[in-house]
Amino acid sequence: MNKKITIAIDAMGGENSPYKNIKGISLFYEKNKDKDDYYFNIYGDEKKIKTELNKYKISDKIFQIFHTSSVVSDNETPLTAVKSSKNSSMWSCVNSQKIFKSNISLSAGNTGVLLVISRMILKTINGVSKPALAGLWPNKSGMNIVLDLGANIECDEKNLVEFAEMGSALYKSLFENDKPKVALLNIGSEEIKGTDIIKKAHSELKEISKKGGFDFNGYIEGNKITDGNSNVIVTDGFTGNIALKTAEGTAKFITDNLKKYLTENILSKISIVFSYFSLKKFKDKLDPRKFNGAIFLGLNGPVVKSHGSTDAIGFYHSIDLCYKIVRGNLMSQIKDNLSHLNDSE
């Protein structure tokens, strides 16, 4: 069993839990019936979880339920929650990596609390100064990774360089590309632009990229994130969070407008009949559920945070992300990449 990819799941985090969490597991099970290389440790209210599990025909050889008595609420702050959370599904889910050798933990619960708990239980990897939250971002040719998305609102050049190494490791584990292209988010592409920290990070990344962990594309501006020419985009958590949310808001604004105009009169409604499959493909391509799941990097074990408001399909994609991360040996990729930094000291 230990050789299986073991995913610890907080079944109680996020809206509509455990319904969506368990349905997400069932979707993963349906799509991976040909495999027997994975296992779920499920944490939460045993009775509720069983009620949900009974709706699907999931082999009981692929999971185990661990009853927990409390749930971290969305309103709790990290400060108050940590003390009271030790019996929670979230705590136990993360702790599962320590006591049951789960390879990864997944929760759709309170982000702030999850980050603090994860840090407390798993501890930061030696040589990493700040763990970071990384996300998937759709682009022309597939997906890239952006980090940090909000774990660290202030970062120095050392942090940014570490983000580059950890983000590259994540990209390699997910996409089997042996040399990701890294870029540094900035307000211009010329070397003279940006803050002192960014300029220092630029020159360090240029040097470190020579050790082979990634190619360095230099600076990237916000309007190029989706152009597919860079695989890993590095920034501080303040900027990353605002870029991500601005992109989400813009996408919603545009698609809301499109919907409004395409349903405004009978002619435009008829047009939907003809463009149904094309519009469906368009919607599929941009479906945010496909990019659901931010990865907390830099701890002695990976933790994935699903959007709290996503549905079962979104949660399924987060489970799939967990599976791929472990299959791609994220942790050893990170250790390999971090050795570039130790060498240089």
Shortest reach from residue 281's CB to a copy of itself, in Å: 5
Task: Fill in the amino acid letter for 331.
Answer: M
When binding is defined by CB under 8 A, the residue of 237, 298, 302, 328 that contacts a copy of itself is 237
- Cross-strand pairs, 128: none
Which residue do the tokens 């990976």 mark?
A: 302
- Cross-strand pairs, 296: 133, 303
The count of chain residues that interact with a copy of itself, using the rule CB under 8 A, is: 59
Interface of this chain with a copy of itself, residues 95 to 114, rule: CB under 8 A? none
Task: Fill in the amino acid letter for 311.
Answer: D
Interface of this chain with a copy of itself, residues 283 to 302, rule: CB under 8 A? 285-286
Decide if 111 contacts 303 (C-beta within 8 A).
Answer: no
| Contact characters 202-231, a copy of itself, x per CB under 8 A | -------------------xxxxxxx----
Q: Which is nearer to a copy of itself, 69 or 263 (CB)?
A: 263
Q: Which is nearer to a copy of itself, 56 or 282 (CB)?
A: 282
Tokens of 69: 């008595």
Instruction: Tally Cβ neighbours within 10 Å of residue 241.
Output: 18
The angle, 0 to 180 degrees and rounded to 10, between the axes of the packed helices 196-208 and 157-175 is 50
Interface of this chain with a copy of itself, residues 184 to 203, rule: CB under 8 A? 185, 187, 192, 194-195
Q: Is 258 in the site for a copy of itself (CB under 8 A)?
A: yes
Decide if 13 contacts 89 (C-beta within 8 A).
Answer: yes
Q: Which is nearer to a copy of itself, 24 or 194 (CB)?
A: 194
Residue 185 CA to residue 171 CA, distance in Å, equals 17
Interface of this chain with a copy of itself, residues 152 to 171, rule: CB under 8 A? 153-154
Looking from the CA of 135 toward its CB, the CA atoms found within 13 Å total 27
Residues that bind a copy of itself (CB under 8 A): 77, 138-140, 150, 153-154, 185, 187, 192, 194-195, 221-227, 235, 237-239, 241-255, 257-258, 261-262, 264-265, 267-268, 270-275, 277-279, 281-282, 285-286
